[in-house]
A and B are shown apart, each in its own frame.
Chain A
Amino acid sequence: MTQVLHQDRPLYTGADWDYALIKKAYDAIEAVAVGEMGLDPYPGQVEIISSEQMLDAYASMGMPVFYRHWSFGKHFARDEMYYRKGMTGLAYEIVINSNPCLCYIMEENTMTLQTLVMAHAAFGHSHFFKNNQLFRSWTDAESILDYLEFAKGYVARCEERYGQREVERVLDAAHALMTHGVHRYPRRQPLNLQEEMDRRRARVRHEEQTFNDLWRTLPQKGDGDGEAIAAGVRDRRQALGLPEENLLYFLEKRAPKLEHWQREILRIVRMVSQYFYPQKQTKVMNEGCATAVHYHIMTRLHETGRLTDGAFMEFLHHHTNVVFQPGFDDPRYSGINPYALGFHILQDLKRMALEPTEEDRRWFPDIAGSGDFLAVWKHAWAEYRDESFILQFLGPKVMRDLRLFALRDDAREPHLTVEAIHDDAGYREVRRALSAQYDLARHEPDIQVVDVDLAGDRRLILEHRTQDGRLLSEPDAHRVLAHLARLWGYPVRLYEVDARSEAVLNEYGDVEPRED
């Protein structure tokens, strides 16, 4: 805000783009984003692609390189059909959390869209990737593309050596466990490709040399004595690092029957899952950040005369579509739009900082009237994830604007109950409920490996601890357990346990490893 750019020539007129214009627009955006707003993005790399290539990118989780698997072909087939039929449009861009930050933009975009998309992705998302705590501690923008290149090559070599079907079996099973293949607590060190390969070799050597406790067949002292058995269980669980919630990690390290290459594939899937884990937790913030940034930049460009009125109208048209939030009873409703929620919260913070009301002073005494909304934004972007961001920053005005209300669905009741609405009595409850909705720990079932029956048939025992009484969806749970048993090589059993009362609610009996 301090520096006013005196340039009143529009960057471009008309809809067509060329490389010189894109470069010019990028530089103008950069001047606002870095010069005025003080954002700190990765260096940018803008790549122009066609719609077919966009569909290709969709199919492999948006990444430019990925290992091969039929499931990506399945997604591609579906996306392609929807697109060809006009049921869905394609995204205007794809951005990759890498250094340099890759932004794919589509060739059919107009110049205004290209400008919007660069502001959104190459500065908004990129700043978020580089500065958010979760991304900083969990992902490696430097090495992800190299790692994926390694993964692709490794999987391909395995296919050559062991057959496509064999590799597919392992990948299928690993994909089924992907959501339970992340560490939820910070890891030690980011790895790069070279270290990764060194460590792989070291790991193989180590495992060849060391003795796996699972294979111990000699009876241990103290068998039969109750106290000693309990102690034995404790020791065993400690030795195996149980309980363990990262199922892929556990299998990679402990599954007795896996070959080295199979372990390595589990590790690749686990790494990919871990890489995407922060993105799952920051949808609202990430999109909110990018949307607020593009809105600010485009507005500034227009104010300084570098966007024509026509271009700005076009931008507003796209922008309003992006932040549109249909009501729950609207046929277009498909959940809360993360762009809308994130953008509204951030704009509300800006309003509070610049033009606070009495209500804001009560709710956000630190922010109200502080004047420096960028500092508030940057702090939020750096330190929070969706759950805590909503809990901390969702203000009454946004709840009123979006007319949010909380609904309780208790399966024992014949109807749903409105718990709270956007009024004084309900703000805090709505905010708490919405925050919980973005808490992955509540969303995803808490499943842990709790024990291995070493003395008996090496049965693996898992527990699903449920807080809200909800149980696993059965058909899928059976399928996943079958995959798990195939990797483990011995029977697997799963108990569903109420976390408060320790009561066993459901049980999946021994699932035997079976080749399909």
Chain B
Amino acid sequence: MVHIIDRRLNPKDKSLANRQRFIGRARRQILDAVRDASSRRRVADIGQGGEEIRIPADGLQEPSFHKGGGRGVRDHVLPGNREYVSGDTIPRPEQGGGGGGRGASADGEGEDAFQFTVSRDEFLDLFFENLELPDLLRTRLSRTETQGLQRAGYSVSGSPSNLNLTRTMRNSLSRRLALRRPRREETRALDEEIDRLERSGRDPERLRELIRMREDLTRRTRAIPYIDPIDLRYNRFSPVPRPITQAVMFCLMDVSGSMTEDMKDLAKRFFMLLYLFLQRRYRHVDIVFIRHTHIAQEVDEDTFFYSRETGGTLVSPALEEMQRVVRERYDPGEWNIYAAQASDGDNTPADNPTVVEMMESAILPLCRYFAYIEVAEDRGWDMTTDLWQVYERLVKAGRPMAMRRVRRRADIFPVFRDLFTPVELKR
């Protein structure tokens, strides 16, 4: 007696516990691999699906006693002989020393790297070192809304461009039918008959009668217009609030000589994080990279992170550039604008008043949020930089901006969380 059992509804992922153990065990190697992968990735690719990573098998081997190559005698039996006869000699194949087959290498001796795929969630989890990103998302940053128009039936008044022809003509037709407006065929038939009678000159009695009917028709046609104002119908639109589903993120970075590669890497991570965060909230996220020394320009990502520039340090040109880009491409009514600035804090003192002025009058009113992170070598908290002091005044004035210092990679996430935690929750 056979039993046939459907197990498909049994829980899947029986191996999940084992997988978690494996990832826990390989944590260090996986972290390195993930870091490596993230430095190769572009900012916008960070949230993409699963990542295939290769980790060194170090610490993950499953060793066993087995025979190695290089010594002793081995006999192999192989299928598919074509030309060999006994006694033939064959040059030893290059790798492995096996006799054409896999020989001893089949048992995993050569395994020095291990390749597998981590899921998107696992990747992010590891990337942010186990900090719970999703929890953040319900906080802060009220949903942006804009007024949109939505079709809402018909109205009897409106602008000519919204005239709904179908409705209007339908009304007109029914009115004409109801009031018996003479149809064109009717008048034409009458005209023809009158014409015929006039030419023939017979039956003047009938002709008179017809002419009277014709006058009657004309009068009725005049009295009942083809389209009357009461026929008119317009498409009606009513305003509805609509969330803006797109955001643009401005990355501003000081690339003058004082910013080291390490600092840029810190900044890159911060930008990645902000991108991820925005991506979870908005359907579409654009990124604009603006780098500056004493001049500023919009550049592509590679140039932004990897090309070097020399020059003095002025912040205001970057703000101007941002303003220009917003003006040209990103209408604040349609885009949520975020800006993140990374800098080591240097600014030419003469520029500071300009920066304050620009931030207050132009930049901050545009932005949903402005985050400033100061990437710094360890040099003690008491050393405040020019830019820090300038921005601190703005923050104290209650502007939508935040600022933090970051020194190590591990700082990034806490700082980020801190920046984007709503004030109510902080208390």
Contact = CB atoms under 8 A, between A and B. Distances in A.
Interface of A: 19, 22-23, 26-27, 30, 43-50, 52-53, 55-56, 59-60, 68-74, 76-78, 80-81, 84, 100, 104, 107, 122, 164, 168, 175-180, 325-330, 333-336, 402-411, 414-423, 425-426, 430, 433-434, 436-437, 443-445, 447, 464, 466, 468-477, 479-480, 483
Interface stretch (B72-80, B140-148, B150-158, B271-279): B72-80
A102 B103 CA distance: 33
B39 to A, nearest CB: 22
Nearest to A77: B116
Given A77-B22, A78-B115, A404 B7 contact: no
Given A73-B23, A404-B79, 11 more contacts: A68-B18, A69-B18, A76-B19, A179-B66, A329-B82, A335-B106, A411-B70, A416-B99, A437-B77, A479-B61, A483-B63
A109 to B, nearest CB: 13
Contacts of B257: none
B81 A56 contact: no
B65 A447 contact: yes
Given A77-B116, A405-B84, A23 B79 contact: no
A476 B20 contact: no
A443 B68 CA distance: 11
A415 B94 CA distance: 11
14 contacts: A30-B2, A47-B6, A402-B80, A403-B80, A407-B75, A408-B75, A409-B103, A411-B72, A415-B89, A417-B90, A436-B75, A447-B65, A470-B71, A475-B63
B7 A72 contact: no
A349 B213 CA distance: 113
B2 A23 contact: yes
B226 interface: no
B82 A403 contact: yes
Contacts of A80: 116-117
Contacts of B73: 408-411, 468-470
Contacts of B17: 68, 73
B90 to A, nearest CB: 5
A73 B19 contact: yes
Given A59-B15, A72-B15, A47 B65 contact: no
B10 interface: yes
Contact of A334 (B1, B52, B102): B102
Given A77-B117, A176-B64, A333-B101, A471 B71 contact: yes
B190 interface: no
A273 B121 CA distance: 36
B13 A176 contact: no
Interface of B: 1-8, 10, 12-15, 17-26, 52, 60-82, 84-92, 97-104, 106, 109, 114-117
Contacts, number: 292
A462 to B, nearest CB: 10
B79 A445 contact: no
Contact of A422 (B23, B67, B81, B92): B81
Contacts of A44: 2-3
Contacts of B2: 23, 26-27, 30, 43-46, 122
A451 to B, nearest CB: 18
Contact of B71 (A329, A426, A469, A476): A469
Contact of B64 (A46, A70, A178, A406): A178
Contacts of A46: 2-5
A47 B6 CA distance: 6
B67 A48 contact: no
Nearest to B91: A415
Contact of B72 (A50, A59, A466): A466
Given A76-B18, A418-B85, A466-B72, A403 B79 contact: yes
* CB-based closest 7 A-B pairs: A327-B80, A73-B22, A473-B68, A469-B72, A470-B72, A73-B18, A77-B116
A122 B4 CA distance: 12
A70 B60 CA distance: 9
B31 to A, nearest CB: 16
Contacts of B99: 407-409, 416
Contacts of A476: 61, 63-66, 109
Given A406-B75, A466-B72, A472-B67, A418 B80 contact: no
A470 to B, nearest CB: 3
A415 B60 CA distance: 36
B78 A404 contact: yes
B77 to A, nearest CB: 4
B352 to A, nearest CB: 54
A180 to B, nearest CB: 6
A95 to B, nearest CB: 14
Contact of A176 (B62, B85, B97): B62
Given A74-B60, A76-B15, A470-B72, A325 B79 contact: yes
A329 B67 contact: no
B24 A70 contact: yes
B356 to A, nearest CB: 54
A408 B63 CA distance: 27
Contacts of A422: 81
B231 to A, nearest CB: 60
B106 A43 contact: no
A436 B75 CA distance: 8
A417 B62 contact: no
Given A179-B65, A471-B67, A476-B66, A56 B80 contact: no
Nearest to A50: B8
A403 to B, nearest CB: 4
A55 B15 contact: yes
Contacts of A475: 63, 109
Nearest to B107: A473
A102 to B, nearest CB: 9
Given A53-B7, A68-B17, A474 B101 contact: no
Nearest to B10: A53
B12 A53 contact: yes
Nearest to B67: A470
Contacts of B68: 470-474
Contact of A430 (B66, B77, B103, B104): B77
Nearest to B12: A52
Given A328-B101, A402-B79, A430-B77, A81 B66 contact: no
A81 B117 contact: yes
Q: Which of B7, B19, B77, B109 has the most CB of A within 10 A?
A: B77
Contacts of B64: 176-179, 476, 480
A407 B76 contact: yes
Contact of B5 (A45, A81, A402, A408): A45
A479 B63 contact: yes
A55 to B, nearest CB: 7
A477 B65 contact: yes
A479 B109 CA distance: 12
A409 B75 contact: yes
Contacts of B8: 48-50, 53, 107
Contacts of A479: 61, 63
Q: Which of A70, A325, A326 has the most CB of B within 10 A?
A: A70
A56 B4 contact: no
Contacts of A43: 1-2
Contacts of B79: 325-328, 336, 402-404
A84 B65 contact: no
A73 B102 contact: no
Nearest to B75: A433
Contacts of A76: 15, 18-19, 22
Contacts of A327: 78-82
Contact of B90 (A60, A164, A406, A418): A418
B113 to A, nearest CB: 12
Nearest to B98: A409
B150 to A, nearest CB: 43
B81 A71 contact: no
A442 to B, nearest CB: 9
A297 B88 CA distance: 43
B3 to A, nearest CB: 5
